[in-house]
Amino acid sequence: MSQKISGVKGMNDILPPDSRIWRRVESAAREVFDRFGYEEIRTPIVEDTALFVRGVGEGTDIVGKEMYTFEDKSGRSLSLRPEGTAPAARAYIEHSVHNLEPVTHWFYIGPMFRYERMKTGRYRQFWQIGAEAFGVKEPAQDVELMDLVVQFLRALQVPNVSLSINSLGDDACRPKYLAALVDYLSRHRDALCAECRERIDRNPLRVLDCKNEGCRRVTQGAPSILEFLCGPCRAHFDEVKRQLSLLGLKYEVDPRMARGLDYYTRTAFEFIAEHPSLGTASAVGGGGRYDKLVSSLGGLEIPAVGFALGVDRICLLLSEQPHADRAPDLFIATADDKAKDEALKLVSSLRREGFRIEFDGRGGSLKSQMKRADKSLARFALVLGENELTMRAAQLKPLRGGEPKSVSLDALPAALSAS
Ligand code: HAM
């Protein structure tokens, strides 16, 4: 036997029955996006590396440490996308979408790639469901997106998810905050972990959400960004909070939430599910406003806000919940090889009419076929043999209790619909 080849570490196969949960999540997302008027985009999985360096930020862990970057045959530096916002902004600029409509509402569903340390809920290929809204600077847009996430999670009955919000300020107020933060962190440098010591200069905001005990103790006393917000940023944040309350959406203000991407301005938010199945990978989604990203990528000054949800994490939460999938309507067994042709025709025509039919082309003894019928959880089973073909009728046998009844083969659709 040849040596077996395994999948790439951190990149998962999604097989049945899990793939059913994935499909349920994706169709719930499509349904809710449709209700909110968001249209789908599909951008390439590979982009120019510069897009992420400039968009997400060179100093971030995502770009600095986690990107899958390679040269193509012509020596261009390309990267597997680690997230979907910079690609969406690139496509928005490239297709001059602002000329077509003043407000653009997009969503995407697809795989992202980050070379992270793996654990439950944290993978190297993971899927995101995301939305990006371009053209609205008002807080109502931020709140609409958070409402959308809440409605989506509610539709799926994802348990115990809480919403945390923060404001990260803007160019007018954040530099003053960063200076105060760097000053504070430098004074407590020795109590920080090695990574955070290095972050003080590279990405000081990230020190705030380090999980290390020592770092947490230091950051308890760190200055809060909320005390540094300028008037317009404060007013924006107050209005976000007021509108969330207006819609009855519960939230918590978390002044330590930094998010791991450089493009944010003002509102930042995260949806957290404290659940053992996620371990410490408890963020099921996050997002925020990024009013400067489009212009920093060469577009106009277009305000924007968006979010992305981690599909792997949502599916982990849902896999703990029992849920009923649509069972097959009928299992068709064949008594002999002669019945197989007729069975094939019957299976095909019933499927054409929309019924879910199970048929095992291997045939075999009736006993083993009926065992398979039970395992399939079908509502009914039916055996086709010489007798049935001559009579053009068969016994429709309920598999979950009840009496079998004789049904003409032509009347099967009506019999299946009626029961
Ligand atoms: P993010 O917080 O980096 O934001 O990722 C969003 C979500 O993707 C996370 O909350 C998490 O559920 C999931 N996720 C991230 N990394 C992994 C991983 N390695 N394995 C499994 N799931 C993961 C963004 O990506 C932004 N683009 C969101 C955004 C859109 N902001 C504005 N618009």
Tens-binned pLDDT, residue by residue, of the chain (419 aa): 899 999 999 999 999 989 999 999 999 999 999 999 999 999 999 999 999 999 999 989 999 999 999 999 999 999 999 999 999 999 999 999 999 999 999 999 999 999 999 999 999 999 999 999 999 999 999 999 999 999 999 999 998 899 999 999 999 999 999 999 999 999 999 999 999 999 998 889 999 988 899 999 999 999 999 999 999 999 999 999 999 999 999 999 999 999 989 999 999 999 999 888 888 889 999 999 999 999 999 999 999 999 999 999 999 999 877 666 678 999 999 999 889 999 999 999 999 999 999 998 898 999 999 999 999 999 999 999 999 999 999 999 999 889 999 999 999 999 999 87
Probe ligand 1: pick from 203, 262, 313, 314, max atoms within 8 Å of CB?
Answer: 313
120 CA to centre of ligand 1 in angstroms: 15
**What's the confidence (pLDDT) of residue 297?**
98
Among protein residues, the one with the nearest Cα to ligand 1's atom 15 is: 310
Closest by CA position to 415, among listed 388, 397, 391 = 397
Closest Cα to atom 22 of ligand 1: 310
| Ligand 1 midpoint to CA 126 (Å) | 9
- First CA to last CA across the chain, in angstroms? 51
Closest residue by CA, ligand 1 atom 10: 285
The reported pLDDT for the residue numbered 151 is: 97
Ligand 1 contact via 264 beta carbon (within 6 Å): no
Nearest protein CA to atom 14 of ligand 1, as residue: 310
Q: Whose CA is nearest to atom 13 of ligand 1?
A: 310
pTM: 0.91
**Is 21 close to ligand 1, i.e. is its CB under 6 Å away?**
no
pLDDT number for residue 321: 74
The answer, yes or no, to whether any atom of ligand 1 lies below 6 A from the CB of 312, is yes
Residue 57, ligand 1, Cβ within 6 A: no
E-strand ranges in 72-121 read 77-80, 104-113
Provide the pLDDT for residue 323.
Answer: 61
Question: Counting atoms of ligand 1 from 1, which one is nearest the CA of 130?
Answer: 30
- Residue with CA at minimum distance from ligand 1 atom 25: 83
Between the CA of 83 and the centroid of ligand 1 the distance, in Å, is: 7
- Classify 121 in phi/psi space as left (phi over 0), alpha (psi -120 to 50) or beta: left
| Whole-number pLDDT of residue 333 | 96
**Residue 86 Cβ < 6 Å to ligand 1:** no
Pocket test for ligand 1, best of 125, 128, 278 (most atoms within 8 A of CB): 128
User: Residue 261 Cα, ligand 1 centroid: separation in angstroms?
Assistant: 10
Question: What is the model's pLDDT at position 337?
Answer: 87
The most distant pair of C-alpha atoms in the chain lies apart, rounded to whole Å, by 92
**Under 8 Å CB-to-CB from 1, ≥6 apart: which residues?**
none
Q: Ligand 1 mean position to 244 CA, how many Å?
A: 22
State whether the beta carbon of 89 lies less than 6 angstroms from ligand 1. no
Ligand 1 centroid–CA 243 distance in Å is 25
Please give the backbone phi and psi of residue 153, each rounded to the nearest 5 degrees, phi first: -65, -35
- Of all protein residues, the one whose alpha carbon is nearest to atom 20 of ligand 1 is 122
Q: What are the residues facing 334 on neighbouring strands?
A: 384
* Atom of ligand 1 lying closest to residue 283 CA: 10
pLDDT number for residue 156: 95
pLDDT at 281: 87
Residue 274: per-residue pLDDT = 87
